[in-house]
Structure 1
Amino acid sequence: MDLLRLPAPLRRALLTQKWPNHPLYRYLATETYTPSNDNLQQLPPSPRLLSPSQINTYTTSQPPNTSQLKYSHFFFHASPPHLLYSASHFRHFPPSSIPEVAFLGRSNVGKSSLLNALFGRSNIKDAHVSKRPGRTRTMNGFGVTGGLLLGAAPAELQVKDAAWKRFPRGGLVVVDMPGYGSGSREDWGKEALKYLEQRKQLRRTFVLVDAEHGLKMSDVAILTHLRRKGIGHQIVLSKVDKLLLRGTKLPGPLRMGREVGKLQEMCARVRETLDAEAGDGRQGVVDILCCSAEKSLDGKGGHRKFGVDEIRWSVLSACGMESDETGQRKRRSLDGVDVLEET
């Protein structure tokens, strides 16, 4: 039974009669926040109970459980990422059978910081963190193997085989796209759109939106374009710590509850804005993930950044590499698959 979905009077009665010392009782007995959108989940506001999977809004997928998040964490930490290629134009992308996901957003939205957190590295080559917008000028593909080893390099010193040619099956590629908006260049946008529309290996696009400033016109334009073209995508609200943590200390339960409520209302406004801009009379079906590449909101000062493991899970799910409910790697079966031979 989900206590937080019950009416407030019934919840108070149940807690006082059955669990008078329950840590949620103080909050439930004093203040209740009801989201304006029926799809948004009611949350316990305690910082130590705050879960990104509860704040995120899932409409196309199911939220991961603890075992699946641990699997995602291990997959991205098992080995360092490999810079496979850098392409300034779409025609420079190498042929590949490896699934890819792309991360893009406005210049200085925190994309490089998020990718560093995603890979579990403080700073990786070509994913530079800079206060100057437009630092990323090429489309950079980073390979994540989940612990698998790259193939051996050729023995001949004169031959230098590309890393992407030795990339193992069972891995994936994360493509860091140049930023759009202020500080970007028009020709980068044209090449990025070619990649998003024509790259057959692309499985999903993650569009970063600054949670502190909300949607900008350039965000609305790219998200509407992806929706109309039928390109699979998810929205990532970055820098949510700027909303949930307005000081150096963790807020109390009531204040955290109010800040979480504001964040949920922002997610609802994002959906409404995109639906209105699309103008097709339908409600968009897109997940909204919340994260912070800088801070952990578990109240323990841990190294796991808020919401990053959930993004890792979404990346694995998009590439068909997610684990089962127990956190074990799924085994692919070819039973029932007919192989047609050429005549």
Structure 2
Amino acid sequence: MSFFATLAHVKCCCSVTRISRLYSTAKIFGNAGSAEFVAAAGSITSIPKLRGLPEVIVTGRANSGKSTLFNAVLGRRDLLHTSKKAGRTRELNFFRVGAEPGKLILVDAPGYGSRGRPQWGQMFDKYLETRKELRRVYILFNAKHSLNESDTQMLAHISQMLISTRGTQPFTLQSVITKADCIPADKVSEVITRMRKDIWGAAPLCLPPVVTSATMSPPFGIEELRENIADACGLLAGKRAH
């Protein structure tokens, strides 16, 4: 089976069911110039109050490919800063998606793990605990590496925050597997299956992973992830924001 065919098979097995929609994701993500940086927060007290648009936040271990992937999702090469040096994102960065006044806000969070900082974790937790506009947390895993202790701890930590004290679920959690093209074609199914098992072992409420590669030509999984984000924010036909 070819690399593309193998990835397509895994994608079919792992991803959420695609639904018909009235809002085309092209209207949200299609105009690269419509996405723009709007604010940054370097501390809990500086987390901005925006316009009430639905928000998704993206986190992952340092060097998970977060910036490269979401530049592709937003149709830009340099909106989110990319670097070969891990741990470059040190603030919560807020990006408006969609032409003014916008459709949603994407929040880029600092990476966790050995290069993370305690204050980053405190700010991330405060955002999750208090942000009424938050619809989904995306946690990224590099396909080249197995989940490590910091990954499973983060999954378990976010899972504990999913259910509020009122017994409601304020947001959802979903994993994204990046750099899938770095796996040998004959190992793709095995690797993705193992990662999915590890993810659900740590976070049973985590939604099925979206498998991606932002550096392939054409990129793989980007359209699915765009649709997934729009769905989470209640922008698809028959769906309302959570």
Question: TM-score, length-normalised on structure 2?
Answer: 0.84
Contact (CA 8 Å) 2:40, 2:48: kept in 1 or not? no
Report the CA distance between 1:48 and its aligned residue.
5.5
Query: Which string of whole-angstrom CA distances, capped at 9 and with x for unpartnered residues, describes residues 264-322 of structure 1?
Result: 422443245316xxxxxxx54522111011113xxxxx3xx111111111110010012
Is 1:307 aligned to 2:221, yes or no? yes
Q: How many aligned residue pairs are there?
A: 228
Determine the C-alpha separation between the residues in 2 that align with 1:239 and 1:63.
Answer: 22
- After superposition, the C-alpha distances for 1:22-64 in whole angstroms (9 at most, x for unaligned) are xxxxxxxxxxxxxxxxxxxxxxx34555537834514xx4235
Out of 200, 212, 237, which is 1:291 matched to?
A: 212
Q: Is the 8 A contact 1:102 1:202 kept in 2?
A: yes
Match of 2:49 among 85, 95, 110: 95
Q: 2:157 aligns with which of 215, 220, 225?
A: 225
Please tell me whether the aligned partners of residues 28 and 103 of structure 2 are also in contact (alpha carbons under 8 angstroms): no
Q: Distance in 1 between matches of 2:120 and 2:231?
A: 28
Distance 1:271-1:106 versus aligned 2 partners, 3 A rule = closer
* Structure with max Cα Rg: 1
Cα offset, 1:75, TM superposition: 2.3
Structure 1 ranges of 4+ moved more than 6 A: none
Task: Show the counterpart of 1:187.
Answer: 119
What does 1:1-343 align with in structure 2 at a 5 Å threshold? 45-47=1-3, 49=5, 51=8, 54-55=11-12, 57-58=14-15, 61-64=16-19, 71-80=24-33, 81-96=35-50, 97-124=52-79, 127-145=80-98, 148=99, 150=100, 168=101, 171-230=103-162, 231-244=171-184, 256=185, 258-271=186-199, 273-274=201-202, 283-296=204-217, 302=218, 305-323=219-237
**Farther-moved stretch of structure 1 (78-87 vs 305-314):** 78-87
SS of the residue 2:140 aligns to: strand
Structure 1 vs Structure 2: percent identity of aligned residues?
Answer: 33
Describe the shift of the 1:290–1:225 C-alpha distance in structure 2 as closer, same or farther (beyond 3 A).
same
